[in-house]
Chain A
Amino acid sequence: MTRIKFFQELFQRYRRPGDKVFAVVFLLFALFLLSQLGEQTQWVKRTKWFAQPSLWPTVAVCGMVIFSAFHALGSFVSPRIPGRWTEVVFWLRSLEYVLYFLVYVVLVPLCGYLPTTLVFALFLALRAGFRSKQALGLVLLFAFSVAIIFRGFLQVKIPAGQIYNYLPDALRAFALTYL
């Protein structure tokens, strides 16, 4: 009993809700990588150990397995905290914004950087609960400034929107270069 208590005290640590889920998933991920080590890396003939392509992946994956095993152990022997699944739901809620972000990324080369950024920022503002004209106006101003500064002024490498090809001649060249 004393030994178990000593063991528990040795590995107990401060945690937050959801820690156990993360610790287990990370350990499983590390074990998966370990199982793939032979398949996904090569041991090359006539090459010394320090130049082997599989040396550093082996070091890294073994380190991940060992440390994540201890991390998970610490999680299991520490006092239980309520709210684990509420926390996991919180993590999953970020996927909604991942989706918005990726839709934005796909639309930029099609609809052009400036128009897509204006719509994206406005949509996010509405989704985040902003309703006042002042807030929405500021969001649009911000999106407009970002697009003009980075693509127009700093000429950051963002492709022109395909939609710009349908603009009248006078405006097309300008839009393709600056908007």
Chain B
Amino acid sequence: MDTLLSGISLLAQWDVMIALVIGSIGGVIIGALPGVGPAVAIAILLPATFAFEPIVGLTLLLGIYGSSMYGGAIPAILINTPGTPVNALTTYDGYPMTKRGQGHRALSLAYSASFFGGIFSVVCLIVLSPLLALIAPHFGSREIFLAAFMGILLVVVAHRGQTFAAGMLACFGIFLNTVGLEPVKYTRRFTFEQSWLTSGFDLIVVVLGLFAISQAFLLLIDKDHAPGDTHVDGNMFSGLKELLGIKRIAGAASSLGVLMGMIPGVGEFTAQFLSYTYAQKTSKDPESFGDGSPEGLVASEAANNAVPGAAMIPLLALGIPGEALTAMMLSVFYVHNVIPGPQLFENQLDFVMALYVALILLNVIVLVFLLFSTNLLLKIIQIPTRFLGIMILTLSFIGVYSLRNSITDCAVAAGFGVFGLILKRLNLPIVPIILGMVLGGIMEVKLRSAMAAVKTPIDFISRPIAAIIFVMIVGILILHVRTLIKEHKAKTKPEPLGPDTEHSSQQG
């Protein structure tokens, strides 16, 4: 209780509260704009937050992360265009409801489900925190190495149908992290005697290029379009009452969101897939799924909104980011010399609690904002896509250039922008590159320190937590192979290959 109060007092500063409000409302707007996701916004804002205290910077970024999916549901439901990629499933049931004239009901239900998912995950985390504080110190170098390896493995196998692409891009990320002057033996790695390669590739430069600049190029080159004018009437509070009737689905979806958020490498897509499947299988009316089922809508929105809170767990407790957005947040910690990991949970639990309370507050702020300003937001999102491209490119400059006023950084970021554009056009995933960069670095350091105490290979997994993670890794591999065999056997005739069967591989 004392830690909770101490956490609240950390938040009770004017700059933190302003960051929270700007982050929450800004996140909703960014999420509602098709073409700009939280990853673009976080990448752009990241260097600007380095000037703030860690709690202020993180609150701002957390606000954007936690609230963007609320906003993303609006165009998904009303105009069949997901605001963020993780709202794609929302279009399945949300848009048919709009076509039936139930747009306000769908929106209200989506807000309520998102709110439920968001709050549920934070409550779970607050309850779990003492337990995590107990377990976290048992994570030594070898456990963290194995957890990071599991993260890489999961991000590769989670990209079903694109495993090879995800694998090569994750390895590319690991490679990028190794370029430059290596800090232990001071040897050069892949510098080709170029001085600009000696300092290696900065994560933020790569992130800005792959997420933000690529998106700006894409929007500027592609055909210009703007979401049409639309309006929604009706009582936005009705969904809160309706959600009570679907609380079983909301609870299960949120639990799956929490679970999937906690596992590095997995995220919103898997959580949604599992919760949607569960909801459909246990529904009295499974045929209506995909054709305007309120249960489907709740399953999708509650699951994806439960993820951000849970994704903070591996980041804070182990220093291992599970996906691109938390990987970006990790750099905020590094800049301020706060190293997330077991010590943070042990010594600064109030800081962790402050972040959880911030997550609760942001959910409340967003819900209140949305209940009253959906129509205002519908006006804002009518920005033409090329105009958005100009905005993103202009803002990206600040992100890259303010790091160290380097023209080379800007050129590298622009290069990654072109690379990101190609990946986006081919629907190949970007996230494995970022996770490869971050987790690759963690694996290199942790393997070196872990092996100092390891005499035989079996020593590596002799401790209980290391053994559990090792069993999980083997289990993931076996399950993946089993799924592949099952899928292959089930393929009596080839699936129709085409846009109808694809889903977006992009995050943020």
Chains A and B form a bound pair: yes
Q: Which residues of A are interface residues toward B (Cβ below 8 A)?
A: 9-10, 12-16, 18-19, 22, 26, 30, 33, 36, 40-42, 44, 47-48, 50-51, 53-57, 59-64, 66-68, 70-71, 74, 78-79, 87, 90-91, 93-95, 97-98, 101-102, 104-106, 108-109, 117, 120-121, 124-125, 128-130, 135, 138-139, 142-143, 146, 150, 154-159
Which A residues lie within 8 Å of B405 (CB)? Answer: 109, 157-159
- CB-CB under 8 A for A57 and B175, given A14-B502, A47-B185, A63-B167: yes
Q: Are the C-beta atoms of B390 and A121 separated by less than 8 Å? A: yes
Ordered by A's residue number, 23 sampled pairs between the chains whose C-beta atoms are within 8 Å are A12-B494, A30-B168, A40-B188, A41-B190, A42-B185, A50-B451, A55-B444, A56-B444, A60-B178, A90-B221, A97-B393, A101-B393, A104-B397, A109-B405, A121-B390, A124-B389, A128-B386, A129-B386, A135-B387, A142-B394, A150-B398, A155-B51, A156-B48
Which B residues lie within 8 Å of A48 (CB)? Answer: 451
Which B residues lie within 8 Å of A138 (CB)? Answer: 387
Question: Cβ of B455 < 8 Å from any Cβ of A?
Answer: no
- CB-CB under 8 A for A36 and B394, given A47-B185, A50-B448, A95-B418: no
Q: Are the C-beta atoms of A13 and B161 separated by less than 8 Å? A: yes
**Please, what's the 1-or-0 string for B202-236, where 1 marks a CB less than 8 Å from any CB in chain A?**
00000000000100111011001000000000000
Q: Are the C-beta atoms of B394 and A18 separated by less than 8 Å? A: no
Distance (whole angstroms) from the CB of A31 to the closest CB of chain B:
12
Which A residues lie within 8 Å of B164 (CB)? Answer: 67-68, 70-71, 74
Which A residues lie within 8 Å of B161 (CB)? Answer: 13-14
How many A-B pairs have beta carbons closer than 8 Å: the answer is 202
- CB-CB under 8 A for A97 and B168, given A53-B185, A156-B48: no
Question: Cβ of B410 < 8 Å from any Cβ of A?
Answer: yes
Question: Cβ of B369 < 8 Å from any Cβ of A?
Answer: no
Interface residues of B in 146-173 (CB under 8 A from A): 161-162, 164-165, 167-168, 170-172
Distance (whole angstroms) from the CB of B453 to the closest CB of chain A:
12
Question: Cβ of B258 < 8 Å from any Cβ of A?
Answer: no
Question: Cβ of B282 < 8 Å from any Cβ of A?
Answer: no
Alpha-carbon distance A159/B401, docked complex (angstroms):
10
Which B residues lie within 8 Å of A156 (CB)? Answer: 47-48, 51, 398, 402
Q: Are the C-beta atoms of A41 and B187 separated by less than 8 Å? A: yes
Interface residues of B in 449-503 (CB under 8 A from A): 451, 488, 491, 494, 497-498, 501-502
Alpha-carbon distance A26/B181, docked complex (angstroms):
24
Alpha-carbon distance A33/B410, docked complex (angstroms):
24
Choose one: B188, B394, B488; the contact of A9 (CB below 8 Å): B488
Given contacts A56-B444, A125-B387, 19 further A-B contacts (CB under 8 A): A10-B488, A14-B161, A42-B188, A54-B189, A56-B177, A59-B171, A60-B174, A60-B175, A61-B171, A64-B172, A66-B167, A67-B168, A90-B221, A102-B407, A105-B397, A108-B401, A120-B394, A128-B387, A150-B402
Alpha-carbon distance A142/B398, docked complex (angstroms):
14
Which A residues lie within 8 Å of B384 (CB)? Answer: 130
Question: Cβ of B425 < 8 Å from any Cβ of A?
Answer: yes
Question: Cβ of B447 < 8 Å from any Cβ of A?
Answer: yes
- CB-CB under 8 A for A50 and B447, given A94-B417, A101-B393, A156-B398: yes
- CB-CB under 8 A for A40 and B189, given A68-B168, A74-B164, A124-B393: yes
Distance (whole angstroms) from the CB of B178 to the closest CB of chain A:
5
Alpha-carbon distance A93/B182, docked complex (angstroms):
36
Question: Cβ of B246 < 8 Å from any Cβ of A?
Answer: no
Which B residues lie within 8 Å of A79 (CB)? Answer: 497
Alpha-carbon distance A124/B387, docked complex (angstroms):
9
- CB-CB under 8 A for A87 and B425, given A14-B161, A50-B451, A60-B440: yes
Where chain B touches its partner, the secondary structure class is helix
Question: Cβ of B421 < 8 Å from any Cβ of A?
Answer: yes
Question: Cβ of B192 < 8 Å from any Cβ of A?
Answer: yes
Which A residues lie within 8 Å of B171 (CB)? Answer: 59-64, 67
Q: Are the C-beta atoms of A16 and B426 separated by less than 8 Å? A: yes
Q: Which residue of the partner chain A has the closest CB to B408? A: A105
Alpha-carbon distance A10/B192, docked complex (angstroms):
39
- CB-CB under 8 A for A26 and B217, given A101-B414, A156-B398: no
